Each structure stands twice: as C-alpha cells, then as structure tokens.
Amino acid sequence: MVTATFRFHEALNDFLAPPRRKREFAVACARAATTKHMIEALGVPHTEVELILVNGEAAGFGRLIEDGDRVAVYPRFAALEVAPLLRVREHPLRETRFVADAHLGGLARMLRMLGFDTLYDNHFDDDDIVDICEHDGRIVLTRDRELLKRRAVTHGCYVHALKSEAQLRELVERLDLARSVRPFTLCLHCNAPLRAVDKASVLDRLPPRVREHYERFSTCDQCGRVYWEGSHFRNMRRLLDG
C-alpha cells in the first residue's frame, strides 16, 4: 500500500471534503498512481492547478506517487512566485479566448462586451466543448468539475460564483483581464467583430431617444445589430471600476 500526504492551498480547498480543507491529510494511493490521478481523485480538476511540489521539489502531472511522499498543490494565479519552479503547463495560450458551457450564457455575453472572444451555445454538450478546446486552444469556463478533469482540457477555469456579474468579477481578478479589456469590439450575439459606422448610415434603425443623445455607433456585419455606448456601456464600466 502506498500512502502519501497531501496539502492543498488557497482556493483549491473549495473542491475538497470539509475535513480535508486547509490541512495536511494522508491518503492511500493506488500503485502507479500519478499526481494528476490523485489530485483529481480528491476532487480538484487539473486545470485549477499551477504548481505541484513533491517533497519540496517541483513535479509534473505524470510524476508517480511513492510511499511517504508529501504533496503540496497550489492553484493557478496564486500569490506565489513560481518562475524558478516547474509549472505544470509549460506552454501558455497565445490568446485569451474562451468557450463557455451551456449554463454560463450571461457570463459569455459579458465577456464579449469586454472584447473577449467567447464561444457559447446553449446546445453545446461536454464533447463539443472539449473538441473546441482542443481545436482552437480556448480556456474552458464551467461549473462542472468533471468536465475540467478531461485529459484533453489543458486550460480551464471552474467558475465559483453563481450570478453573472459576480462570475465576471471573479474571472477579471483571477485571470488579470483588466489590462486586456477592449469594450464593445465584439457583437454580444454573434461574437463577431464590430465595425464603426457613421450615424447617418444607421439612422433609420435607431430609436428616437438614441438618435437624439448618441453620436458614435458600430454594427455587426454578421447579424446587422447596431450598438452605441448606452446604459450597457456605463454599467460595464461601473462593474469594472467596482
């Protein structure tokens, strides 16, 4: 029998059974079990992990657990300098692009409002999302931890908050998105780029009050929707500033 001691740090404790949170605990492991196998067997998706230390040394997901090992597991984006150590993901994504599961439509819309390329369809099933993640190199957003345990999902975020605004704040803080925000550059409906247009060219499509109070407009060539910096824009600015 192989027995190892585990300690999970910061937000990773949310995935553990209450008696195992914020403390060391011993676990009986299967022979030839890897760190990835044991971390996920204890309830933590591998996408949430940034650093693994085994007996004080950085280790990857494929490291075999040996009897007496002490395993410390740290979350992604924790306040910890890990540059000199081995991150479990050697190749970061070149672009911050998302695919959201069927339960996160409100969050997907808000991310698009901030200018982040976010695929969403309420008919996506788990296999669809995994295929998109593999093919496009997108970050999976979900509240389904089992989806994040899929081997093919290399980058993902478990969304803890329940309401869309709180979910957005969580992601902006966790992924340090504030510096990359480009508000109202994507269509909230299509996820396609918006194009600035003259007011005169869309005048017949504007409500009377909008014609009177706004001068800058953009449109989506895919669906034809027209956008202006109205209440949605102000609310998003308030949300980010808050």
Please report the pLDDT score of residue 77 as a whole number. 55
Please report the pLDDT score of residue 40 as a whole number. 97
The whole-model pTM stands at: 0.80
Classified by CATH at the fold level, domain 2-75 comes out as Ubiquitin-like (UB roll) (3.10.20)
Q: How far apart are the first and last CA of the chain?
A: 52
Residue 242: pLDDT band by 50, 70, 90 thresholds? low
Please determine, for residue 94, whether its predicted confidence score (pLDDT) is greater than 80: no
Reported as a single tens digit per residue, the pLDDT across 125-168 is 999 999 999 899 899 999 999 999 999 998 899 999 999 999 99
Give SS3 for 57: strand
Average pLDDT, the chain: 88
* Strands 217-220 vs 194-197: parallel, antiparallel or unpaired: antiparallel
CA 35 remoteness from chain centre: 22
Please report the pLDDT score of residue 26 as a whole number. 97
Residue 83: pLDDT band by 50, 70, 90 thresholds? very low
Please determine, for residue 84, whether its predicted confidence score (pLDDT) is greater than 50: no
Burial of residue 141, with CB atoms counted within 10 A of its CB: 0-12 exposed, 13-18 middle, 19 or more buried: buried
Q: What's at 125, amino acid-wise? A: D
Would you kindly state where each structural domain of the chain is located, as residue ranges?
2-75, 98-180, 194-241
Task: Please state the rounded mean pLDDT for residues 115-120.
Answer: 96
Residue 80: pLDDT band by 50, 70, 90 thresholds? very low
Report d(CA 154, CA 133) in Å as an integer.
Answer: 8
Contacts of 189 (CB under 8 A, 6+ apart): 220, 223, 225
Please determine, for residue 70, whether its predicted confidence score (pLDDT) is greater than 50: yes
Please report the pLDDT score of residue 175 as a whole number. 83
Please determine, for residue 93, whether its predicted confidence score (pLDDT) is greater than 70: no
Please determine, for residue 123, whether its predicted confidence score (pLDDT) is greater than 50: yes
Please report the pLDDT score of residue 22 as a whole number. 94
Ranked by mean pLDDT, the top range of 28-32, 62-66, 92-96 is: 62-66
Task: Please state the rounded mean pLDDT for residues 176-195.
Answer: 90
Please determine, for residue 67, whether its predicted confidence score (pLDDT) is greater than 90: yes
User: And the tokens for 198?
Assistant: 């003259």
